[in-house]
Amino acid sequence: MSSTTWTMNRDAAEPEVESIPGDRARRWVDYHHRFAAPSTYVYEFVWDVTAPARGPFCTDVDGNVLLDFTSHVGASPLGYNHPAVVDALDDLGAVSPGKIAGQDFYASAGWPPENPDRPAPSQLMDRLVDRTAHYDMDTVFLSNSGAEAVENAIKICYQDGGHRGVTFDGGFHGRTLGALSLNRSKSAHRRGYPSVPGVMSVPYCHCTGRCSCGWRTDGPGGNVLADRLHPDRGSLDPDEVAFVVLEPVQGEGGYRPPSDEFVADIAAIGNRHDVAIIADEIQSGLGRTGEFWAIDHTPIQPDVVTAAKGLRVGATVSRTDVFPEETDRLSSTWGAGDLTAALEGAVTLDVIREEGLVANAVDRGQQFRELLADDAPDDVVDVRGRGLMLGVEFGSQARRDAVVDAAFDRGLLVLGCGHQTVRVLPPLDVTSREIDLGARILCEAIAASSTRTVS
């Protein structure tokens, strides 16, 4: 890592934008898209990895300094160049191959295996088991991505019996074909692709007060899923249901925390019918919501937890009895084999614990919500979320997009989600000053964009 990355004073840094995107960024983007398949690119923002960057602050190829409140869609929970991560990477040094065939070989980065000089995939799995011990989980399968983590989660649940799955309206679980079959957030994700058969969707209740989403019913179970599973009047045999998969806070679906009644219902259904519950923590996990796992906010006892993004690898975590005994049922060339990513993931977990960042997420998230409640214009429909997984909802998609663009013009990076919501994802170690700064810029962007929004 170049020493220039440490020249930024995080305590005094502020966004500085001359022209964005600048000439260099436009040229880089044009070059990139000569080769890149069409996909979701939000900004013409090109991070200069050789330029100063620290915490939520980074520099683009034109020299603009930006405040990044996206955390790379939650995949960089410590922001840019956290000293503990950089020091660990420097200490490891460059090795080749940096990825090994991790389902066939093992890798050591020191001795002894319980506490080596530097963590490797084995130690990352140890940390994940420790973080899920309160759910009696003791086994991990590592993979490359969140979608693979979900794929393996549904595979091991099918292995345990049943051929049906339950997902929720607004849910998003990945872009491989199995994970796509679970998605209910945008039609573009699934349109024209075949689906795994037997997956049914029901409402995801985030209602406050009287339920209006269709989850609560006057039927025998009091909710739509319990009604369908009812032994006398239901239309679905519980023995056929292999899993229920949910995001403890929906991400792509609009940063929607569930209602208390909803999660109590899911917990009761899982217990009553012995249906496996998969908690998709790919965006909400690792302390983002003010608990280490967002499912910890609820009475649900998950059978499987999936993690990725900030972990740098995909992880499917469960109990030994849920995983198949046959060794050929789960495997991957690069499973458990990315040495650098495993090192980053393990150090990230250590930093979150050692620096008290779960508690910081609670405090800074409350600070942000209070600032927006005090200063945001009247056309902000809702400010919601848990911890530092925050959503600001507007009255239309056009209004939301105008706010995202206006914030970018001012050097603040935020992203859209759902139909008309801005998601705000500062790094977990964000400071009070940085929250003040980001909230002020976002409020300025909301006010400035109101005059140019087309409904």
Per-residue model confidence (pLDDT) at position 1: 47
CA distances from 211 to 154, 169, 208, 231, 395 (A): 29, 15, 7, 25, 21
Q: Does domain 91-354 have CATH number 3.40.640.10?
A: yes
Q: For residue 88, what pLDDT is reported?
A: 93
CATH topology match: 3-12+47-82+356-449 vs 91-354: no
Cβ neighbours, 10 Å, residue 221: 18
Vertex 313: Cα angle to 308 and 314 (nearest 5): 55
Amino acid at the residue 455: S
Q: What pLDDT, on a 0 to 100 scale, did the predictor assign at position 6?
A: 59
Name the residue among 100, 9, 62, 84 with its Cα closest to residue 336. 100
How confident is the model at residue 104, as a pLDDT? 81
Q: Where are the domains of the chain?
A: 3-12+47-82+356-449, 91-354
Structural contact between residues 73 and 283, judged by C-beta atoms closer than 8 angstroms: yes
Helix (H) or strand (E) holding 416: strand 415-417
In CATH, the architecture of 3-12+47-82+356-449 is: Alpha-Beta Complex (3.90)
Contact 343, 109 (CB under 8 A): yes
Query: 193: phi > 0 → left, psi -120 to 50 → alpha, else beta; which?
Result: beta
The reply to whether omega before 112 is within 30° of 0 (cis) is: yes
Half-sphere exposure of 72 (CA within 13 A, CB side): 16
Q: Which mean pLDDT values do the consecutive 10-residue runs of the chain (455 residues) have?
A: 68 95 92 82 88 94 95 94 93 84 84 91 95 97 95 94 95 94 90 93 94 94 96 93 98 94 97 96 98 98 97 96 90 87 96 98 97 84 95 95 96 95 97 98 93 54
Residue in 144, 133, 102, 104 with CA at minimum distance from that of residue 120: 102
Largest CA distance in the chain: 69
- Which pLDDT score is estimated for 2? 52
Which runs of E-coded beta strand occur in 286-381?
304-307, 314-318
Q: Is the preceding omega at residue 15 within 30 degrees of 0, hence cis?
A: no
Residues 278 and 245 sit within 8 Å (Cβ to Cβ)? yes
**Residue 422 CB neighbours (<10 A):** 27
Q: Which two tokens stand for residue 173?
A: 């679980």
The 10 Å CB-count burial string (b at 16+, else e) for 401-410 is: bbbbebbbbb
What are the strands of the beta sheet with 415-417, ordered from one edge? 382-386, 389-393, 421-424, 415-417
The count of residues in the chain is 455
Whole-angstrom Cα distance, residue 283 to residue 135?
A: 19
Residues 34/412, Cβ–Cβ less than 8 Å = no
As a whole number of Å, the end-to-end CA separation of the chain is 46
